[in-house]
Chain A
Amino acid sequence: MSDKTQKKKKVKHPFNWLSMLMLTTIFQLISMMPVVFLTEEPNVEVVSVFGGFILVQWLYFICARNFASQRATELEIIAFALSGIGLVTVASVKPEYALKQFIAILIGLAAFIVLVAIMRNVEVISALRIPVAIGAVGLLAVNLVMAETVNGALNWINLGAFSIQPSEIVKIAFIFVGAATLEKLQSARSLTRYLIFSLGCVGALFLMRDFGTALIFFATFVVIAFMRSGDIKTIGLICTGAILGAGLIIYFKPYVASRFAAYRHVWELANEGGFQQTRVLSYSASGGLFGLGIGEGRLRHIFASTTDLIFGILCEEWGLIVGFCVVLCFAFVAVYALRIARHARSTVYSIAAVAAAAMILVQLALNVFGVTDLLPLTGVTLPFVSRGGTSMICSWALFAFIKSADIKTYPKLEKQMEE
């Protein structure tokens, strides 16, 4: 008996947050140095942004530990570490990006905290389900009407100083709505309704020609549908239908296929359709395992280097080891999410955590394997690391789904349940 309690105690503290935070901070400080001293006179704005970032990071953990009794903060450590790498990279390419990216991290963090609070209560989730679904479809509809075409995709709304990418925000709603089901709703009818909602989202994205995001939504939909129904036959049918549909689209709209003409032929089309992929591969290999040094790379001068191609910058300047470690962090998060989902207090949370982790992994795969030509290049971002506000907010929000599935996040609730 005493043996068992000892074991339990060990499991409770597998992770020393303070030493992890210190290590992360040291890594961040080291990586910030070359950026600060890249120019002859240190850029005051960049220095203050870096300082502010580290401050916010420490504040969060001190508050979370001491005032919110958070015992498990692995997710946040990873989120801050990745955001930090992204912030430093983005600032190293263009100092003007630094402040915007920092603000995006702050909004992301706020979204994370708010969403974790909302997700506390199943009743609240249930009540919000329909409005969120309607809001999401509405947002996409507005997007379709007033979006601007950026890089061939119609997924930006320009609001003066800021432009937002509604599809990123709808990602959060998509999981929220998908997970928000009660046991009694696990019926064919509720699945049909969700199917219609999903079709609406994926269809709108297709019309916007944002095929990458459409694919992310579809994959997430399949995961959620499986989690809810466990019906492999229906899901097989849906997938077959989707493949047929995609085939029809390619048949009737050849321009869709032509966007992916360079796939697996990038070296022959190195100055056409394979331009970005060949640069990513060539410069990534140039960096070797340890990188050429921050600021020493050349991929940074290529279009979209800080958004879609940022994995290549990491490999070239920070080294293949860092590049791969960043990607492996997400795999770790997915394993972590799986563990939490297995012991979640309700199916809502299981589904939310698994769907969020799946969505992140699929997006990551489309990004990393897309720029390295293992998959067609669809132009999606690398979560947390890529430059971009809505992408950053969405990344934090997805982590919130995983966080809220963990009962340790809500100490009072945990106590109640134990009693």
Chain B
Amino acid sequence: MNTVTKRAYVLLAIIIAFIGGLVFLAVSFFTQGGTWATHRVNGHLYSQGEIKNAGRILDRNGVILAQSKNGERVYNSDKNIRKATLHAVGDTYGYIATGAHTLCRDKLTGYSFVDGIYTLINTGSGSDVNLTIDAKLCANAYRYLDSRKGTVGIYNYKTGEIVCMVSTPTYDPKNKPEDIETNDKYEAVYMNRLLNGVFTPGSTFKTVTTVAALENIPDINSCTFECTGAHATAQGGQIICNNTHGKISFGTAFTKSCNSAYAQMGIGMGADVMTATVNSMGFGKSFSVSGVNTAKSRFDLKGAVDIDIGWASIGQYTTLVNPLHMLMIMGCAASDGSTPIPYFVSDSLYDVVGSVRTERLLQQTTASQLKTMMRNNVINNYGDSRFPDMQFCGKTGTAQVADEASHAWFTGFSADDSFPYAIVVVVENGGGGSEVAVPIASKIMKDLKNAL
């Protein structure tokens, strides 16, 4: 009798295990409830996979980019704004993973652990989400891209706020084209090219090689290089230059964008040194931009011979750069070698916005030397009149890609303390950087200056 009643404690073990499971379940609700409640399966928020009831999405000036009216999602009335901000705002079906509609589901639906989505059910709307982008500026950038594929990104390198983020091709979320899956015009349309694209960088990569040279070649400023219109490597093969520069100094090589000189620098440093420095600048890394993990830039010299290293040093070979990463390098060059990580949701749930900085991507002295060289580049090549009153620093790139027209690049920043903006422009298969990318950058930077 006594032993049997003692054995009754087996029940206690079951009770304890059960309570343990309940506690685990409660904790799961607390930590993951937001993800669960805002998931696409929730019929309160989604109808046939489309989000219906949610808070407003606003740009930095309070312009409404998306809101819910009578159970329908309504976008801005301006078609260009709708198209230009598509990748920041996102679509209601969640095809665009980088958009606020997906990133800020918790907030848009007003979810909280205590009330669930009660507020949304009763008021028909959750909380507003404020973006840092300027919708009008984005619409201008979209017009300047003129239906070519590419991206324009501008951010404040002191605060990290992204004020312009346009990716093309895009579409009007109000009238989604029916041939979007089949028409080549809409190739990778759901991808935000600024955050998730990677492109052959061409000569804009010379900013990176310059940093490597400054940090690894002791007497680089007194070095001269020989350009015969090409640079032949010891094992054979040659890297073609845009001109025959003859004997050329380090500084001039940057301004003239001399391929021969830069190939020699890269080959001289060797694969290991180049790779180490380039990786320290954030290549091979992903950054969290308002919760979006950016595409990693790529620099890979495994098994590369001299000719490959030469090409890689001028931004060809297998080198690929994510435009936002390039933008961050500009931000580093403009300041002391590090930058706040860019963001576009002002009240991000993911980061303490603006306060998250990268580690130092460039040494401080390197940053200031690169800045001077890029400043000279603008004065000598594009002219200060393109970027009036901005003390602009920049570098173009014309990246050769197989069988198609080159990608046109421009990247740079204003060195003016009162106008701390950096820009990156990429036009896919657009042609020459100076002819195609610089005019876009010039116009949009002027627009930004006027808007402030």
Q: Which residues of A contact B (CB under 8 A)?
A: 183, 223, 226-228, 230, 267, 270-271, 278-279, 281-292, 296, 298, 301, 316, 320, 324, 327-328, 331, 334-335, 337-338, 341-344, 346-347, 350-351, 353-354, 357-358, 361-362, 364-365, 368-369, 372, 374
Contacts and interface: CB of A to CB of B under 8 A. Distances in A.
Contact of A331 (B15, B36, B115, B118): B15
Given A301-B43, A374-B24, 18 more contacts: A223-B10, A226-B10, A230-B3, A230-B4, A279-B41, A283-B44, A285-B116, A286-B42, A286-B44, A286-B111, A290-B114, A331-B18, A331-B19, A341-B11, A342-B5, A343-B5, A364-B18, A368-B25
Interface stretch (B26-34, B75-83, B303-311, B406-414): B26-34
Interface string B87-122: 000000000000000000000000111111110010
A282 B11 contact: no
Contact of A286 (B3, B28, B32, B37): B37
Given A288-B112, A292-B121, A227 B7 contact: yes
Given A270-B41, A278-B39, A365 B116 contact: no
Nearest to B33: A285
B12 interface: yes
A374 B25 contact: yes
Given A364-B18, A365-B21, A298 B43 contact: yes
B5 A270 contact: no
Interface in B32-90: 32-34, 36-37, 39-44
Nearest to A287: B116
30 contacts: A227-B4, A230-B3, A282-B36, A282-B37, A283-B42, A284-B29, A285-B33, A285-B34, A285-B36, A286-B42, A286-B44, A286-B111, A286-B117, A288-B117, A290-B118, A292-B121, A298-B44, A320-B26, A331-B19, A334-B18, A337-B11, A338-B9, A341-B11, A342-B5, A351-B4, A357-B11, A364-B18, A365-B18, A369-B21, A374-B25
Closest 10 CB pairs of A and B: A288-B116, A285-B33, A285-B37, A341-B8, A285-B36, A288-B115, A347-B4, A298-B43, A281-B36, A282-B42
A226 B6 CA distance: 11
- A interface SS class: helix
Nearest to B43: A298
Contacts of A324: 22, 26
A121 B8 CA distance: 21
Interface string B312-334: 00000000000000000000000
Nearest to A335: B15
A79 B5 CA distance: 25
A359 to B, nearest CB: 10
B14 interface: yes
B451 interface: no
Contact of B29 (A271, A285, A365): A285
Given A267-B39, A320-B29, A327-B22, A288 B114 contact: yes
Interface residues of B, number: 41
Nearest to B16: A331
Contacts of A351: 4
Contacts of A369: 21, 25
Given A287-B116, A350-B5, A374-B24, A358 B41 contact: no
B352 interface: no
A331 B8 CA distance: 15
B1 interface: yes
A17 to B, nearest CB: 24
A365 B13 CA distance: 14
Contacts of B14: 223, 334, 358, 361-362
A267 B41 CA distance: 9
Contacts of B26: 320, 324
Contact of B11 (A278, A283, A287, A358): A358
B11 A354 contact: yes
B45 to A, nearest CB: 8
The interface centre, meaning the residue of B3, B29, B41, B114 with most chain A CB atoms within 10 A of its CB, is B41
A231 to B, nearest CB: 11
A22 to B, nearest CB: 28
Contacts of B39: 267, 270, 278, 282
Contacts of B18: 331, 334, 361, 364-365
Contacts of A362: 14
Interface-central residue, B9, B10, B114, B121, by most chain A CB under 10 Å? B10
A331 B13 CA distance: 12
A368 B26 CA distance: 12
A338 B113 contact: no
Contact of B118 (A227, A292, A338, A357): A292
A29 to B, nearest CB: 23
B116 A292 contact: yes
Of the listed residues A286, A328, A338, the one surrounded by the most CB atoms of chain B closer than 10 A to its CB is A286
B40 A270 contact: yes
B90 to A, nearest CB: 20
Given A289-B113, A331-B19, A361-B18, A282 B41 contact: yes
